[in-house]
């Protein structure tokens, strides 16, 4: 695509988005669609803007982000360690793979009632659920990644008499990194979903609770503002991880 | 064959340990029901029909949402896949909506539809739409342009081109996207039920927990696992059997 064509399509993309919002605005103002359910974009964005300026949105925003990141970090670290252990021996792979395959398609949120029983309606419950839910993508990807490291690299490491730690750090981990990062990105999306779900379920402070409260009192623009912020978190988190991925995997493209 | 059974060793050992703990008074925890009771609750739930009704309710919402997403995703995906300029115009708006976590729509759909199958299906449809749409766009775009040229030379109508060329050529990859969305549909349906929709398997678990019937709660957790596994296994089998593109790709 030439630069000119690209500029044209970017302009078209902006025009399309503006057109969508304009149609929505018009339908809402003319009350073709109920302004109670679909408040006009202008009202929604002015609500969002006033919440950002007054700072009211940052407390729930940051609680949701912190919740999500804690659970996800715990899950990712544990997932990589367990993945390395499982992939490390044939026996453990045979023993554990069927169980992992059984748990993988299970809805992670189904663990919520059990977690409430164990931890009560608390932040620990939320972190436990998030960690439990987002560990599977990372764990399965890590097992896959560690198992598919080129065996010749290990022969090389043996020939160089690397210690076990060096072998892991210099051969296994870089080899499995592309898979791990892809799994971690899926895990992060799951973590955000579960953060919102547990906040709604257990009335923990955060955007999930805020939007549920906004709905109960029919403050729809506030509800939309919360949904937009949640979308922004999802978008920002995935952008950040993509950036990390590009930096960590730079050595691969050089090959 | 013997290797296959190795996978059962750890779950059985865990169950045995769990059951054994129950018989040591000092170690007994009321919230960890005895495996034997859980098994009985599962049996009664299945023979009594409550579990099956709840399963049907969950599937009703999941499949309805999945079907809506499939129809919209396929239709829009094929058009956007065939017209790259349109995709570059509409794409950014889609990308802006995609990262919104599906569960964030629970309050909104609740307000619009109230409790019931419609709000659940709406959330499921939103969650399933994106994988189907993205896969369809890329599947249609990667169709060999020679095939499209053939259609042009034969002066096929749009409908013929769609049915004879485009859908068969893209079906293999689209099927993989549909399978992914099907798995998502069950997960989202159960999640919506756990959060607030008073129907189906998710709600069954929550109410068993609130009624302190922990044996029933674990039985339903186990059953949800079986259902999820069955769905993923079933759709994988179907895919392997019916999708020629996939069969051709596999090294024999």
Is there a contact between B10 and A99 if contact means CB atoms under 8 Å apart?
Answer: yes
**Domain identity same for A28 and A63:** no
Residue of chain A whose Cα is closest to the Cα of B205? A113
What pLDDT score was predicted for residue A55? Answer: 84
A102 Cα distance to chain centroid: 22
User: ∠ CA(A178), CA(B94), CA(A47), 5° rounding?
Assistant: 110
**Domain identity same for A47 and A134:** yes
**Domain identity same for A172 and A247:** yes
Q: Which of these, B158, B93, B7, B112, lies nearest to A103 by C-alpha position?
A: B7
Q: Which of A207-211, B162-166, B208-212, B220-224 has the lowest mean pLDDT?
A: B162-166
Chain A partners within 8 Å of B196 (Cβ): 200
**Domain identity same for A45 and A11:** no
What pLDDT score was predicted for residue B244? Answer: 56
Residue of chain A whose Cα is closest to the Cα of B109? A37
How much is the average pLDDT of B176-204? 91
Closest partner CB to A234 (pick from B6, B101, B232): B101
- Contact yes or no for B239/B179 (Cβ under 8 A): yes
- Describe chain B by its helix, strand, coil percentages, rounded to 5: 85, 0, 15
Cβ neighbours, 10 Å, residue B214: 22
Q: How many C-alpha atoms does B33 have within 13 Å on its Cβ side?
A: 23
Distance from CA of B70 to the nearest CA of A (A): 20
Distance from CA of A103 to the nearest CA of B (A): 7
pLDDT in tens, B73-128: 999 999 999 888 888 888 888 888 888 999 999 999 998 898 989 999 999 999 99
Using the Cβ of B97 and the Cβ atoms of chain A, whether some distance falls under 8 Å is answered with yes
CA distance A204 to A199: 5
| ipTM value | 0.85
Tokens representing B179 are 């399978």
Q: How many C-alpha atoms does A146 have within 13 Å on its Cβ side?
A: 23
User: DSSP character for A110?
Assistant: G
Closest partner CB to B224 (pick from A9, A107, A215): A107
What pLDDT score was predicted for residue A38? Answer: 84
**Domain identity same for A50 and A140:** yes
**Domain identity same for A16 and A91:** no
What pLDDT score was predicted for residue A80? Answer: 92
How much is the average pLDDT of B197-225? 89
- Domain B34-240 matching CATH 1.10.3720.10: the answer reads yes
Tokens representing B50 are 């409550």
CA distance B127 to B106: 11
Ramachandran area for residue B141 (φ above 0: left; ψ -120 to 50: alpha; else beta):
alpha
CA distance B228 to A83: 23
What residues contact residue A26 under an 8 Å CB cut-off, 6+ apart? none
What pLDDT score was predicted for residue B30? Answer: 67
What pLDDT score was predicted for residue A134? Answer: 92
pLDDT band at B165 (very low <50, low <70, confident <90, very high): confident
What are the average pLDDT values for consecutive 10-residue runs of chain A, which has 255 residues? 77 88 86 81 89 89 93 94 86 82 84 88 92 92 87 82 81 86 91 93 90 88 91 91 86 62
Residue A199 structural domain: 40-254
User: How do the domains of chain B map onto residue ranges?
Assistant: 34-240
**Domain identity same for A166 and A155:** yes
**Domain identity same for A76 and A176:** yes
Chain A partners within 8 Å of B85 (Cβ): 9, 12
Distance from CA of A166 to the nearest CA of B (A): 31
What pLDDT score was predicted for residue A253? Answer: 63
Q: How many domains does chain A have?
A: 2
Could you tell me the pTM of the whole model? 0.87
Which site among B62, B96, B107, B112 would you substitute to test the A interface, given the most A Cβ atoms closer than 10 Å to its Cβ?
Answer: B107
Number of helices (H), then strands (E), belonging to chain B: the values are: 12, 0
Mark out the alpha helices in chain A (DSSP H runs): 3-29, 41-54, 58-88, 90-103, 112-119, 123-147, 151-159, 164-167, 173-202, 207-216, 220-248, 250-254
Q: What is the CATH number of the domain that holds A46?
A: 1.10.3720.10
**Domain identity same for A150 and A238:** yes
**Domain identity same for A2 and A90:** no
Exposed (0-12), middle (13-18) or buried (19+): which is A104, by Cβ within 10 Å? middle
3-state secondary structure of A38: coil
pLDDT band at B251 (very low <50, low <70, confident <90, very high): very low
Using the Cβ of B14 and the Cβ atoms of chain A, whether some distance falls under 8 Å is answered with no
Residue B2 above 70 pLDDT? no
Exposed (0-12), middle (13-18) or buried (19+): which is A72, by Cβ within 10 Å? buried
Residue of chain B whose Cα is closest to the Cα of A91? B6
Residue B252 above 50 pLDDT? no
Closest partner CB to A20 (pick from B31, B91, B93): B93
**Domain identity same for A88 and A4:** no
- Contact yes or no for B115/A230 (Cβ under 8 A): no
Higher pLDDT, A161 or B68: B68
State the residue for tokens 């005895």.
B34
**Domain identity same for A21 and A141:** no
């Amino acid at each position: 695509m030439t630069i000119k064509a690209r500029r044209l399509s970017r302009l078209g993309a902006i025009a399309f988005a503006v057109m969508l919002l304009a149609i929505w605005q018009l339908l809402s103002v003319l009350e073709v669609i109920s302004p109670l359910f679909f408040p006009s974009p202008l009202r929604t964005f002015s609500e969002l803007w006033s919440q950002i300026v007054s700072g009211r949105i940052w407390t729930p925003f940051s609680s949701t982000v912190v919740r999500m990141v804690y659970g996800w970090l715990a899950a990712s670290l544990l997932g990589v360690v367990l993945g390395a252990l499982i992939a490390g021996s044939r026996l453990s792979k045979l023993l554990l793979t069927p169980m992992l395959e059984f748990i993988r398609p299970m809805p992670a949120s189904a663990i919520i009632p059990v977690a409430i029983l164990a931890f009560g309606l608390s932040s620990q419950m939320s972190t436990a659920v998030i960690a439990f839910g987002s560990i599977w993508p990372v764990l399965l990807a890590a097992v896959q990644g560690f198992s598919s490291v080129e065996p010749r690299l290990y022969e090389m490491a043996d020939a160089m008499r690397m210690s076990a730690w060096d072998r892991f750090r210099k051969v296994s981990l870089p080899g499995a990194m592309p898979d791990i990062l892809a799994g971690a990105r899926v895990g992060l999306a799951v973590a955000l979903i579960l953060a919102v779900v547990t906040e709604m379920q257990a009335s923990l402070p955060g955007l999930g609770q805020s939007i549920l409260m906004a709905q109960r009192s029919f403050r729809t623009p506030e509800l939309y503002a919360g949904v937009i912020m949640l979308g922004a978190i999802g978008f920002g988190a995935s952008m950040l991880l993509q950036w990390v991925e590009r930096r960590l995997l730079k050595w691969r493209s050089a090959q | 064959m013997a290797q296959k059974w190795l996978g059962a060793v750890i779950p059985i050992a865990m169950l045995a340990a769990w059951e054994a703990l129950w018989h040591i008074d000092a170690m007994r925890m009321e919230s960890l029901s005895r495996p034997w009771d859980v098994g009985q609750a599962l049996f009664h739930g299945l023979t009594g029909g409550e579990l099956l009704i709840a399963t049907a309710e969950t599937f009703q919402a999941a499949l309805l949402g999945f079907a809506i997403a499939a129809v919209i995703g396929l239709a829009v995906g094929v058009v956007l896949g065939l017209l790259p300029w349109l995709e570059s115009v509409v794409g950014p708006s889609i990308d802006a909506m995609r990262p919104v976590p599906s569960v964030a729509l629970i309050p909104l759909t609740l307000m619009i539809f109230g409790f019931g199958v419609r709000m659940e299906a709406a959330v499921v449809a939103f969650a399933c739409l994106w994988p189907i749409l993205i896969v369809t766009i890329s599947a249609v775009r990667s169709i060999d342009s020679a095939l499209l040229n053939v259609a042009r030379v034969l002066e096929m109508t749009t409908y013929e081109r769609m049915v004879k060329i485009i859908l068969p050529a893209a079906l293999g990859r689209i099927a993989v996207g549909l399978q992914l969305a099907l798995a998502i549909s069950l997960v989202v349906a159960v999640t919506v039920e756990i959060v607030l929709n008073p129907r189906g398997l998710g709600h069954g678990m929550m109410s068993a927990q609130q009624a302190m019937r922990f044996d029933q709660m674990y039985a339903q957790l186990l059953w949800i696992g079986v259902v999820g596994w069955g769905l993923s296994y079933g759709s994988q089998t179907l895919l392997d059997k019916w999708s020629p593109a996939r069969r051709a790709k596999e090294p024999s």
